[in-house]
């Protein structure tokens, strides 16, 4: 039997630390499914594991792509499944960790099949977005698919445009096409979630943002400013600083916006992950030994 130990939870909750502890205990590798840590140009703002953490266990899908590559969740699913097939040849365990719910689901359940959408629909949605802004996407998506609107990254226009295209092109909610097919997997998933009181999560997020600023996030973001329209850079922590560099807002306001938008993101993460009734949730301060004990009991 092969086991994929999957660790989920909101940003800044301690998933990386737990994943390394589990990988060391089970003597196995870690697969990252954080949709922004893939990109080598985005290190500080995506909280890539430190050099010491990366040395603690073999990691995959960390800074392995460029922001200039067109890399989709479908691409990740194919590559991640291929890597899992390879790793399970020599080990019964792999740890998967990340806060990107769509990417976690792609590995566990398979990427969803969507019908082809007429190009005219895509052109209409794109044109309206360019004329009316992101508020158009948010308003229309909330009206046509309130379920998906609840969990989608509302600052990510590409993802909302894609969902809106499907809603308009098919006359059905985008969410109705999610998780329809059941892909066979050669592993048994074990679902672990980390959580905390909301005030604790928010405090940890605020502290992490301050640490990122001190570690050089401004310099990193400024170097990426010429490429700010790339899909990979439609990301909290970068978009706010781009507005600062362009003179729209003050640095103090930009930092507060990063904290606020990251807190909103964490709330959406929890909404997404809490849908999975098979996840065993632990307080983020739970002793690692207790989590390991739960996992090992689950294997019997």
Task: Answer whether 270's CB lies under 8 Å from 195's CB.
Answer: yes
Residue 115 assigned ligand-binding role: no
Which residues touch 63 (CB under 8 Å, ≥6 apart)? 37, 38, 39, 40, 43, 48
Q: Which residues pair with 6 in a beta bridge?
A: 96, 191
* C-beta contacts of 206-211 below 8 A and 24+ residues apart: 206/259, 207/12, 208/11, 208/12, 208/47, 208/262, 209/237, 209/255, 209/258, 209/259, 209/262, 210/255
| Token pair recorded at residue 69 | 């590559």
Does the annotation flag 254 for ligand binding? Answer: no
Pair of tokens at residue 82: 């291929």
Residue 12 is labelled as binding a ligand: yes
Flag whether 9 is marked binding: yes
> By C-alpha distance, which of 33, 16, 15, 36 is closest to 77?
33
- Residue 14 known to bind ligand: yes
Opening angle at CA 192, ends 191 and 196, nearest 5: 145
Give yes or no for a contact between 248 and 128, defined as CB atoms under 8 angstroms apart: no
13 marked as binding residue: yes
**Residue 81 labelled as part of a binding site:** no
- CA–chain centroid gap for 168, Å, is 26
Helices (H) and strands (E) in the chain, counts: 13, 6
Closest CA to 40 of 64, 23, 7, 14: 64
Binding residues for ATP: 9-16
Binding residues for substrate: 11-16
Binding residues: 9-16
């Amino acid at each position: 039997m092969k086991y994929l130990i999957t660790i989920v939870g909101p940003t800044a909750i301690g998933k990386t630390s737990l994943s390394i502890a589990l990988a060391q205990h089970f003597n196995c590798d870690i697969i990252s499914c954080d949709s922004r840590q893939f990109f080598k140009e985005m290190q500080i703002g995506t909280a890539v594991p430190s050099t010491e953490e990366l040395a603690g266990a073999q990691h995959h899908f960390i800074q392995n792509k460029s922001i200039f590559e067109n890399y989709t969740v479908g691409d990740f699913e194919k590559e991640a499944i291929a890597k899992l097939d390879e790793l399970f040849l020599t080990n019964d365990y792999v740890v998967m960790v990340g806060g990107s719910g769509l990417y976690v689901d792609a590995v566990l359940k398979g990427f969803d099949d969507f019908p082809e959408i007429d190009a005219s629909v895509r052109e209409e949605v794109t044109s309206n977005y360019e004329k009316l802004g992101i508020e158009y996407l948010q308003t229309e998506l909330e009206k046509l698919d309130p379920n998906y609107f609840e969990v989608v990254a509302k600052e990510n226009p590409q993802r909302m445009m894609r969902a809106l295209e499907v809603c308009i092109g098919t006359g059905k909610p985008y969410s109705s096409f999610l998780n329809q097919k059941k892909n066979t997997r050669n592993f048994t998933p074990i679902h672990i979630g980390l959580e905390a009181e909301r005030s604790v999560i928010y405090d940890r997020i605020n502290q992490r943002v301050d640490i990122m600023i001190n570690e050089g996030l401004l310099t990193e973001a400024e170097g990426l400013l010429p490429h700010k329209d790339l899909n990979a850079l439609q990301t909290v922590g970068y978009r706010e600083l781009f507005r600062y560099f362009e003179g729209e807002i003050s640095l103090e306001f930009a930092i507060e916006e990063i904290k606020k938008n990251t807190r909103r993101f964490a709330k959406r993460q929890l909404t997404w992950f809490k849908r999975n009734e098979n996840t065993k949730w632990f307080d983020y301060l739970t002793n690692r030994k207790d989590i390991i004990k739960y996992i090992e009991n689950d294997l019997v």
